[in-house]
Amino acid sequence: MTRPPAPGDRTEVTAVGPFDAAAVVAYARASGDDNPLHVDPTIAAAAGFPAPPVHGMRLMAAIEPALAAWRPDLRIKRLAGAFVEPLLVGEQARLSGRVLKTTGADATEVLIRITIQGPRRGPCLVAEAVVVPREAEATA
């Protein structure tokens, strides 16, 4: 059995994007989030963006595959995040995570801080995930 993650453990750093306009449209269709800010450069420009911002939720969706690549034995029980800076179409970000603490009788609930950092000073997304062993869901 793989040892549980421990405070201070870090995930692999993974690339997020770059996303082209077609990828943004694909997410809009799959999610139903057709907010024109993300798919219409004219509206994005009117809102002050030099290019449409990628859906924040598309960035958040990148967390689960990254965590699964790091620890496929864990699943997300809670995920919460704040969208700070935009990631614009054509830009790339990097995702990194660090275990903050473990809780539960067998330290099976793991709190991870995840940051998706784009080209600007501030992060695109700061999130926290609580993950638990996948076998726990079968008996929960």
Partner 1 sequence: MSDQRPVPAEALALGPFEVAADPAAIAAFAAATGAGGLTPSATFPASWLSTPQLKEALRAAIGPDHLAVHESQSFDYDRPLRAGGCYTLSALVQREAAPARLVIVARATEMDGAVALTMRSVMRLVATAGERAG
4, 20, 117 from 121: Cα distances, Å? 33, 22, 8
| Residue 116 and residue 124 in contact, taking contact as beta carbons nearer than 8 Å | yes
Is 86 a residue that touches partner 1 (CB under 8 A)?
A: yes
Q: Considering only residues 18, 49, 70, 73, which one is a binding residue for partner 1 as defined by CB under 8 A? A: 49
Residue from the set 51, 107, 111, 130 that interacts with partner 1 by CB under 8 A? 130
Q: Exactly one of 2, 8, 48, 139 binds partner 1 (CB under 8 A); which one?
A: 48
Distances (CA, A) of 95 to 11, 65, 76, 104, 132: 9, 11, 16, 27, 20
Least CB distance to partner 1 at residue 99 (A): 18
Assess 65 for contact with partner 1 (CB under 8 A).
yes
Report in angstroms how near the CB of residue 89 gets to partner 1 at its nearest.
Answer: 15
Residue 33 touches partner 1, criterion: CB under 8 A: yes
**Applying CB under 8 A, does 89 fall inside the site for partner 1?**
no
Decide whether 1 or 140 has the Cβ nearer to partner 1.
140
123 with 84: CB under 8 angstroms? yes
Other Cβ atoms closer than 10 A to 70 = 17
DSSP assignment of 78-135: EEEEEE-S--BTT--EEEEEEEEEEESTTS-EEEEEEEEE-SSSS-SEEEEEEEEEHH
Q: Using CB under 8 A, which residues numbered 90 to 129 contact partner 1?
A: none
By CB under 8 A, name the binding residues for partner 1. Answer: 23, 26-27, 29-37, 43, 46-49, 53, 55-58, 60-65, 75-83, 85-86, 130, 137, 140
